Amino acid sequence: MHLGLNAMNSLVIAHALFEELTGTDVELLRKEEERSLLAASYARRFVLDRHQADLAVAGAMLHNVGHLALMSRLPAEYHATRSYAAQHGLTMEEAEKRRLGVQDSAIGAYLLGLWGLPFEVIQAVGSQHASPETLTVLDTSAVVYLAKALVAEAAPADSADLVALPDDLLSRLGVAHVVRAIREERARNQPAQGRSVS
């Protein structure tokens, strides 16, 4: 029961937050909510104790808060940073750091801290762009990292978040089988390329 209530609370926070940050852009709201819900569903697949699982689902659901804040509150800077990343062959995170002096993950963590979310959720959102070498145990931060990466894999052409999930990371965390199962399910459920989806 505890997990369900906290997950519902995170869903309500996420929805309210996305409505606030996206304004009237309904398509952006829908897309970001879908990404959040998909990340949360992936986070649920990793085995953690009940409390950590709850926090990981919340962190995965809210992982893109900083990205959304940049897109909605500083759209010109966001688009200029995206162009800069493409022109210089950088990730969005590298471009954000160079151009803005801060990454979207730090902005998201700051906002979640202001809103009083648990430290573990704030830490997980804030460290989502960490190097895979820093992830040594399967905890809330590692699960948010994995869930975010799996979401980015699901829509690589539409995502500035694409990161590799190296085999040594998956082995170190003991999650290779979970990631493999998610990828296989996603492959089975994707429509055949070239076929329209209505």
Instruction: Name the stretches of the chain with pLDDT < 50.
Output: 1-3, 5, 193-198
Residue 47: the pLDDT is 86
How far apart CA 108 and CA 55 sit, in angstroms, is 15
How far apart CA 57 and CA 75 sit, in angstroms, is 28
Report the length, in residues, of the chain. 198
Does an H or E element contain 66, and which?
A: helix 65-73
Residue 190: the pLDDT is 78
Residue 2: the pLDDT is 43
Q: Which domains are assigned to the chain?
A: 2-189 (1.10.3210.10)
How far apart CA 170 and CA 53 sit, in angstroms, is 18
Q: What is the pLDDT of residues 77-108, one digit of tens each?
A: 988 998 998 899 888 889 999 999 999 999 99
Residue 3: the pLDDT is 41
Q: Which of 3, 13, 47, 77 is nearest to 137 (CA)?
A: 47
